[in-house]
Amino acid sequence: MRVLGIESSCDDTGAAIYDSDKGLLCHKLASQISLHQPYGGVVPELAARDHIRSLLPLVNALLQDESNHGQQPDAVAYTQGPGLAGALLVGASVGASLAYGWGVPVIGVHHMEGHLLAPLLEPNAPKPPFVALLVSGGHSMLVEVQAIGEYHILGASLDDAAGEAFDKTAKLLSLPYPGGPSISQAAINGDPIRFQFPRPMTDRPGLDMSFSGLKTFALTTAQAHAVEGKLDTQTTADIAYAFQDAVTDTLLIKCKRALQQTGHKTLIIAGGVGANQQLRQKAKILCEEELGGQVYYPRPAFCTDNGAMIAYAGWCRLHAQTDALSNESRGFNIKPRWSLEELAPLNITN
Ligand code: KG4
Ligand code: ZN
């Protein structure tokens, strides 16, 4: 079965074709970074309008990609939620219309299930059970995955998502949007010992997280060191280093706890913040050297939003035939707010 996947939940228009026999055939992305950069964050109305401009040409290019041999997909999967309502509506309406025109099934996919399954697109894919750390611009959570489709949220951020904290901190340091890549870039030249930031909510039991305090800590540190309202490049780098170090340490302290609490040996990290090199290096040391387990993540391009993860998650659900073709998923019923725990379990374990 060949599934066309469409992602349009936020500021990336993504499309991909997944073939259940051959794997991922092709994927394409239209990034909106330059569109939102002047505003220092995503402007929902602009995002939706740009998805309208980008999506059909992207799908057309995919269908004409040589890996697809001009074939019509056997099904369409689109991101149904969570995400920005206007942006979701574009992918949902285009996906449902294409499927209707082609006379093939259509399925609405949970964006975070897409992120969670993205490591399974890589060679040497992990097998459940495992713990998943999902860290994106909209969500930060630890999920126990007993089987694909069986998700139990162990803990989540009580305020800003980790990616959101990166974006807001970058903005206050006058670093460009998106904040994750620009903070890690600045941190390369940072002094590792000049500033020490707290590791929020690690001094008490539990797996919930909080990142808005770190953003405030960065703000007060920046204010204390600004000269005539401006930070010098070295101080910006030092704050970026301390912030990144604190976020990655905090996430991994919670991951360690989640692995010990559940008894699982495997951790997967997915979502945009999963592209962070420092997080990946520390996770490898924690999981492989300290805990004797393993950590998996998608290639960096599939940590951030993409169509491949939606095509793959759509295929998993179509294959298991749980909610495929229900009236609800055939229509334009987007779900801007939608918990992973509401998903129906699947009967596959690959
Ligand atoms: O998963 P994603 O593409 O979109 C959402 O579903 O939200 O995640 C985007 C988030 C942004 O907040 C961005 O700053 C962050 O992921 N991000 C990173 C890195 N690359 C992207 N954060 C830290 N380090 C990175 N290298
Ligand atoms: Zn995402």
> What is the model's pLDDT at position 123?
95
Q: Which CATH code for domain 124-297?
A: 3.30.420.40
Ligand 1 pocket, residue 128 CB under 6 Å? no
Q: Hey, what's the torsion of the CAs at 230, 235, 241, 245, to 10 degrees?
A: -90
Q: What is the 3-state secondary structure (H, E, C) of 201-250?
A: CCCCCCCCECCHHHHHHHHHHHHHHCECCECCHHHHHHHHHHHHHHHHHH
What ligand has the least distance to the C-alpha of 161? 1
The residue to which tokens 């073709």 are assigned? 325
Cα separation values, 86 from 17, 46, 125, 215, Å: 24, 10, 34, 28
For residue 2, the 8-state DSSP code is: E
What ligand has the least distance to the C-alpha of 12? 1
> What is the model's pLDDT at position 327?
42
Domain with CATH 3.30.420.40 in the chain: 2-117+305-342, 124-297
* Minimal-distance CA residue to ligand 1 atom 8: 272
> What is the model's pLDDT at position 63?
97
Cα Rg of the chain, angstroms: 20
CA-based nearest residue to 5, from 331, 316, 337, 275: 316
Q: In this structure, how many other beta carbons lie within 10 angstroms of the beta carbon of residue 285?
A: 12
Cα(11) to ligand 2 centroid in Å equals: 9
With DSSP H G I counted as helix, E B as strand and the rest as coil, what are the percentages for the chain, rounded to 5?
45, 20, 35
Beta strand 106-110 with 75-81 is parallel
> What is the model's pLDDT at position 330?
56
Residue 304 CA: nearest ligand 1 atom is 3
> What is the model's pLDDT at position 122?
97
CA-based nearest residue to 251, from 140, 153, 87, 92: 140
The residue to which tokens 């569109």 are assigned? 35
Cα(69) to ligand 1 centroid in Å equals: 33
Phi first, then psi: what are they for 5, rounded to 5°? -110, 140
Cα(277) to ligand 1 centroid in Å equals: 12
Q: Which CATH code for domain 2-117+305-342?
A: 3.30.420.40
> What is the model's pLDDT at position 316?
96
Cα(306) to ligand 2 centroid in Å equals: 8
Q: Could you tell which of 247, 304, 306, 340 is best to mutate to test the pocket of ligand 1, judged by most ligand atoms within 8 Å of the CB? A: 304
Q: Could you tell which of 7, 109, 136 is best to mutate to test the pocket of ligand 1, judged by most ligand atoms within 8 Å of the CB? A: 136
**How far is 34 from 335, CA to CA, in rounded Å?**
27
**How far is 53 from 178, CA to CA, in rounded Å?**
21
> What is the model's pLDDT at position 325?
53
Ligand 1 pocket, residue 136 CB under 6 Å? yes
Spell out the per-residue pLDDT of the chain, length 350, in tens.
Answer: 999 999 999 999 999 999 999 999 999 999 999 999 999 999 999 999 999 999 999 999 999 999 998 899 999 999 999 999 999 999 999 999 999 999 999 999 999 999 999 999 999 999 999 999 999 999 999 999 999 999 999 999 999 999 999 999 999 999 999 999 999 999 999 999 999 999 999 999 999 999 999 999 999 999 999 999 999 999 999 999 999 999 999 999 999 999 999 999 999 999 999 999 999 999 999 999 999 999 999 999 999 999 999 999 999 999 987 554 544 445 678 999 999 999 988 876 44
Residue 271 CA: nearest ligand 1 atom is 1
Cα(115) to ligand 2 centroid in Å equals: 7
